[in-house]
Structure 1
Amino acid sequence: MKIQPRTIKHEKFKEMVKVWLDTHREEYCAFAEEVSKRDRSGFQRIFQYAQFAAPGFAGMVTAKMSEKDPKDLDSIEVFLKDADIASTLVNEFQSQEPDSIVPSMLAWMYFGNSWEMMVAYNEEMIQDKETSFVDRIKARFMIFVTIKMSIANGHRTKEDWREFRKIQKSMGSAVPVTDSAIAEFDAEESAATAHSTDAETTDEKKEPMKRGRKKVRETLDNLIPDNTGRIKGKISEFLKLRSSGNDLAMLYIYLHEDSHIRSCDISTFHDALSEHYPEHKFVGLRGVQKAHQQLTTPMMGGKRMIDMGQDKKNLDNIRNHFEAA
C-alpha cells in the first residue's frame, strides 16, 4: 500500500530507504561509483533531477550565487518548501521506476558519504589553480549549501562536520571554506550562550542593564498608524504562510515603503511582532537584519537586490496580498 508523503515520519522513511539499499546493493554501488567520478557526471544527474522536481531551482541557485555574500539560505529553503520536493521524492521512491535515480540517490544521501564528498570535491576545485574565479565562487557557495542543508535536514550534525574537517586535515587536505562554516557555527553558539547569560543576569538583578542606549519598545498597534485592524489581519495571514528571515525583511520593507508602519528600525519591528504574536516562533533578529542588508544592497543602475528578479516578484506578491480585499 502506497504511503501518502505528508503522513510518513522521517525515521520511518529512512527505514524504507535502508530496506531498499539492503536489497539493491549492486544498483546502489553503480550509482555511488558514478558520483565519485572526477568528471562530476553523477553530480550533474542529481542537479538535473532537482531542476525537474523543482522547476526554477537552477535559476534560484544561479541568482543566489551572484550575491556578494550568499550564505543566507532562507530563500532557497523557502523555494524548496514551496515546491514540495519532499513529496515528489517520497512518491517517486515508492513508484520504483526502473530509470529513476531517486532510490539510489536517497540511499547515498542517507547512508553514504554524499555530503562529505560534495564538500571535498568543491574544496579541491577551489584549490585547483586552473579553476576560474567564477567557478571558485560557485564551489564556495555549494559548500555552504551542502553543510547547512545537511544539518537542517538532520542528515549530519555540527560535530559530524568538525570530525570531517579533522580527518581531511589529517590527510593533508586544505578545507578553508569548511573552516569558515564551522567558525560560523562556533560564533552563533557563543552568541546564543552570551545572550542567554545576559538575559539570566538581567532577570536576577531585576533591573535593566546600565550600559548602552536604552531599548525603545513599541507595540504593533502603535507602529501601525492607519487601518490598524486590517493591516494586523493581513500581517497575521502572511506570517502563517511565510516567516523566514528573508520574508520578514521583505515584509518590513514593504510596510515601510507603502507607509503602513511608522518609521522604526528592524529591531523594533521584530520585537513588536514577537510581542504581538507570542504563539508564533520567529527567526532570530540577526537573520532578519542580514536578509534586510542583502535585499537593500545597491546594485548596478542604482537598483537594490529587492528591485530585481525573484526578489522583486516576491515583494510584488506581498503588495498584492495587502491590497487584496
Structure 2
Amino acid sequence: MERAWPLLRGCAEFCLDWLIEGPDGYLDTCPSTSPENWFLDAAGKPQALTLSATMDVMLIRAVFERTLALALASGRADPVVAEISAALPRLRPVPVFSGRVGEWAADLPEEDPAHRHMSHLVSVYPLGQIVAGTHLGDAAVAAMDRRGNGAMGWSWAWKMALRARLGDGETVRSLLSEASQAFTGDRHRDAPFDGSEWGGLLPNLFSTHPPFQIDGNYGFTAALAEVVVQSHTGVIDILPALPRGWTRGSARGLRCRGGLAVDVSWQEGEVSVLLRRLSGDASEFVPVSIGGEVTEVVVSDVVEVRGRVSC
C-alpha cells in the first residue's frame, strides 16, 4: 500500500485538475481524443478533438474508485478523498446511442465505423465496469458487432478478451482462428484471407502488424485465460465463455481476485476445479460458479469443486 498510494493519489490529482464543469453540470475532460479513431464534423471533415471521449471517463472512474478503495482499506484521512468523492458522481455516465456504447460523449458519426480499436469498451475489459447480461453489456455487444471481427495483433487479442468477458465464446474462437493464420507477406497477394491484411502469425509465431506485436502474443494468452476463468464480479466463474466443440482442456495456475490460484480441467462437460489459497482471508467463503451453479467454499489451503458445463 505504501507504494501504491502515492501513485494512485498522484493520478487522481491529475484527473481532478484535468476535469472541467460542462454546461449540464457533468465533469468533462478537455481536450479529449479517442485513440486513432476520428469522427466527422458537420461539414463531413474528419476531426479528433472533442470533450469527454468515453475511454477518458472510464479510466478516470477506475482511478477514482481504486483510490477511494485503497484509502478505505488503509484507513487514510487525506483531503483528496473528499475531492474524489465529490467528483465521482459527476462523471459522465457511459453514453449509449442507437443501442450501442458510444465512443464519444456526443453521438458523433465515426470516420471509420469498422475501426479496429475498441477504446470505448475499456470499461468491459480490463476495467470490469460493464458486465455481461446487463443493459450496458448488451450495448457493448452491439458496439462490437458494428465494428466486426477483422483486426491485427493486439487489437485481435482485445476483441477476444472483450468477447470472453461478454460470454461470447463462439466469436472468441472465430477471432482466434483469424489471428492464428499463417502470414508470410506474399500470401495475401496470392490467396484470400479471412481477417485483416496485416494480421496473422509469422513463422516464429510472433503476432504481426507488421513488423510484429508482442502484445498480440501476450494478449492472446490473456484472452484465453478469460475464456477459462473470470473473477471480476466477485464470483469465480469457471468456463464462462467456452466455445462449443472445445469439449476437453485444462489450465493450471490461473490467478483470481482474492488471492487465489485455480487449476481447471474439463472433458465432455465434466469439470474439476482446484482452488489454492495464495494470500488473503483463509476463513471467508468464496463463491464458485460452474455452468451457472454457484457453490460457496472456504479455501484455507486447497479445495476441489466439481460441476458440469455445456460443450
- Please indicate, yes or no, whether the TM-score normalized by the shorter chain is above 0.5: no
> Rg larger in 1 or in 2?
1
**TM-score, normalising length: structure 2:** 0.28
User: Which protein, 1 or 2, shows the higher relative CO under an 8 Å CA cutoff with sep ≥ 6?
Assistant: 1
**TM-score, normalising length: structure 1:** 0.27
Structure with the bigger percentage of helix: 1
